[in-house]
Structure 1
């Protein structure tokens, strides 16, 4: 007689998020045999003890791990299994980068699109600017343009801007070889991220725009192509123009506050102004006095580490200035000495997660 605790293939499939046909396939290839096969009906029956393996199998296939590697995963110890996952992720990431580069090259070759020389820049400076603004991008399948970087150039400057709707970063560069006209476009963030290590090693680069791609010509003549996104980039100038007046201004030493946040790693922390002195308020009720100054009445704003820390760590120079507008308004983070990089971050209304 069949054990009543066994589940039919349909019930087990619903429980673990797989289809019955997938379970039959995994049985045939030897990755997940049923716990029992009814000798009279031939029905496959599964036990609750098989749920963990089935869920792992589903997730391994979700990340695209090959069946042969999955077989090794299920016979490995925990350390070896983790290594197999890491190796697979590295391979997939490398393949994705190769696909993106090939796609950009193909798009650049379509119809031999004309190229417009935008400007020349110092390679290391462009790479640093890309690193600074990329921290503010986000992958959102519903709004894919938020993973991109907006580049706007005129005869005097080049601005890079990114936003995830909770943060906004914009970096202004002075070109070494300015353009006579203006140009604007949104570049795929993944492509920008992939080119930085090569751009950083090129003394100068030339930005060239096409209809579908943006080209970055290195000093040795090599051109790296980045995809241009077609979605409309958020109107960040409208946001900047609608900011409320600044009520508090805080100037603090960047290294001190960054070091404290790195050592303590609070999920959330408060920036407190009391008697004109700034300090950090941590969830453990600890208070860290910061070297610096503050204007305005006493106030405490709460920030998530993942929101404010990147803005502080990427700020230019030794001192950081924060312009505050209240607990429900964006705070502006910029260098006290150099305003070329400006970041807006949203505080949390309350300290509760």
Structure 2
């Protein structure tokens, strides 16, 4: 079966199947050497359905692999441990929400056309994209010399809306699929504070219409067009991010690990060590080796040719990990001296490039 037919049978998206192939969890039985098309066998359906069910339950991929390929006793222990974590997380969330509701009740509730291009996007989806991309913009000190690095590039090309930000050490790109694109391709630079304010406004709308024209950009309420929010344009030339992405060589090594666990370990390293952290990968382990303190080990799924240890500034890598979606994070390495690509297993439309540093320096 081709990937589309198999995807419909097992209830997984083709993009998810490609991701599970990259991770070695569910490789196809055959890949066409000329076209790259993947083909699956009926005998793989049960494994694919089990993967889908565990992912729907929010299980990290490292745990999924233990259930798939471990003993029955090990699988039961992993599943039971996941249920305990889910219950604890749900209880913590319930307590937090109840406290917020009490605070709101005490405060009386929360405060509340021309040439170019336009695109209609879900308000929450747009706000989420801004949350992911904006942290990659430069801090005020850098912006004094390079003002455009304090902006987010918004691109409309008729098929996608892309948000891009960079501070020279990382590059974040999020692509959105609008429900009704129209007009010519265009781009605009918007200051991060202006975009964050607009994202907070869009979050309360079911849909937002992004309009880009000669004078700047505007967000309109998809259900009430008279309600809008202006986005002033910033003059300048944004770095050619496409050239950076196109220049990356083929991926040699992939690491999938628990996103929350990696984030917590990086935060601990950043607070304690204050220097670079070296990433080492083994067959089923990701090891963080900070300067001047003990190593941290995390369960991981590692595939591809091994790469030498790579050092990162934890303060740069941590936001890239935190900006992801879902329980897992995927790190893709091409070379120890080239940027690592940080992706979300559950959201292929968002990725971040993070530059490595020298092991004896936090700045590179």
TM-score, normalized by the shorter chain, greater than 0.5: yes
Partner of 2:157: 154
Give the root-mean-square deviation of aligned CA atoms.
1.9
Q: 1:68-99 CA distances to partner (integer Å, 9 max, x unpaired)?
A: xxxxxxxxxxxxxxxxxxxxxxxxxxxxxxxx
Cα pair 2:339 2:356 within 8 Å, conserved: yes
1:212 and 1:187 mapped to 2: Cα distance? 12
Number of the residue aligned with 1:291: 299
Q: Distance in 2 between matches of 1:226 and 1:236?
A: 22
Matches within 5 A, 1:159-178: 159-178=162-181
3-state DSSP of counterpart to 1:339:
strand
Looking at structure 1, the residues matched to 333 and 284 of structure 2 have their Cα atoms a distance apart, in angstroms, of 14
Q: Counterpart in 1 of 2:189?
A: 186
Q: Of 192, 196, 199, which residue of structure 1 is paired with 2:199?
A: 196
TM-superposed CA distance for 1:235, in Å, is 0.6
Moved over 6 A (4+): none
Change (3 A) 1:185 1:249: same
Q: TM (normalized to structure 1)?
A: 0.64
- In the other structure, the counterpart of 1:119 is 119
Question: For the Cα contact (< 8 Å) 2:120–2:180, is it kept in 1?
Answer: yes
What 5-or-longer segments of structure 2 have no aligned partner? 1-112
Give me the TM-score of the superposition, normalised by structure 2: 0.62
Q: Which residue of 1 aligns with 2:245?
A: 240
d(CA) in 1 for partners of 2:282, 2:292: 19
Q: How does 1:245-256 map to 2 (within 5 A)?
A: 245-256=250-261
Moved more, 295-304 or 127-136: 295-304
Describe the shift of the 1:226–1:286 C-alpha distance in structure 2 as closer, same or farther (beyond 3 A): same
Secondary structure of 1:229's aligned partner? coil
Report the Cα offset of residue 275 of structure 1: 4.2
Which 10-residue stretch deviates more, 221-230 or 282-291?
A: 282-291
Question: Are 1:187 and 1:226, in contact at CA under 8 Å, matched by a contact in 2?
Answer: yes
Alignment partners' CA distance in 1, 2:353 and 2:317: 9
**Is the counterpart of residue 216 in structure 1 residue 219 in structure 2?**
yes
TM-superposed CA distance for 1:324, in Å, is 1.2
1:89 corresponds in structure 2 to none
Residue 136 in structure 1 maps to residue 136 in structure 2? yes
**Deviation of 1:327 (Å):** 2.9
Relative distance call for 1:298 and 1:346 in structure 2 (3 A) is closer
Give per-residue Cα distances to partners, 1:22-50, cap 9 Å, x unaligned: xxxxxxxxxxxxxxxxxxxxxxxxxxxxx
What do the CA deviations read for 1:84-132 (whole angstroms, capped 9, x no partner)? xxxxxxxxxxxxxxxxxxxxxxxxxxxxx83645111111110110111
* 1:230-270 CA distance string (max 9 Å, x none): 21111111111111332221111101111223344343322
Asked if structure 2 preserves the Cα contact closer than 8 Å seen for 1:274 and 1:298, the reply is no
Task: Using the TM superposition, name which of 256-265 and 193-202 deviates more.
Answer: 256-265
Is residue 275 of structure 2 the alignment partner of residue 270 of structure 1? no
Structure 1 unaligned residues grouped into runs of 5+: 1-112
Greater relative contact order: 1 or 2 (C-alpha under 8 angstroms, separation 6 or more)?
A: 2
Deviation (angstroms), 1:215:
0.5
Question: Which structure has the greater CA radius of gyration?
Answer: 1
